[in-house]
Structure 1
């Protein structure tokens, strides 16, 4: 089912503008939430991508998984490595693209960030049902799929 082009364009534009605003506020809130752990939202996001990956990944794969630029992810991973939160291990499939793994200290830091995050999710859910959140998630995934098609 297709929606009216003008109405649809206006709705998508309003949604995207609010997503930009939400993203900015989430980054600010995330920075404040984890600053005591020596993290930023960007560092926390990369630790999360490493934690959620089924197997260790090279930086390029982490960047792709996150939808970010490889150079930016590489810079942050290098910082995390210097701080002892991640390390590099040989990649059996590629000599130069080492795999990024979380250290014990990195795991403890990430887990502490998650512990701080969980109460914040209660605040974010205020006034929303699980069904509404799941529907919003489906919409965002579809928008992401549609934009990724443009990049192919």
Structure 2
């Protein structure tokens, strides 16, 4: 399986602008710019998209790990916080809120660790990855 996305940029780094389009068209000429990346401009940015990818990948992987352990989550909600410092992504911090009926704490924590280490986006990142989890 291969997936793709296309970035188009026009102009200089600071004054130019561009757009991103994904194969699925979930993003379809979605704008991005210096201001959307480094200030509060309208549009998306690579770090925000990385955060969405990591949160989504981790959460789905955790769902599969829980299934294998014999548990089904009512809800898994993950927010990823990407730190972008000095031109590098330095950390992805995941905050998980989970409602998994009947799961023992030890099984839950082991499942979270398994998903943290083995979701495909975690495996491709060289940045520090941390997880904070809350079992409801």
Q: Do they superpose with TM above 0.5?
A: no
Q: TM-score, normalised by structure 2?
A: 0.36
Q: Kindly indicate which of the two structures has a greater share of residues assigned to strand.
A: 2
Q: Pick the structure with greater CA Rg.
A: 1
**So what's the TM-score if we normalise by structure 1?**
0.33
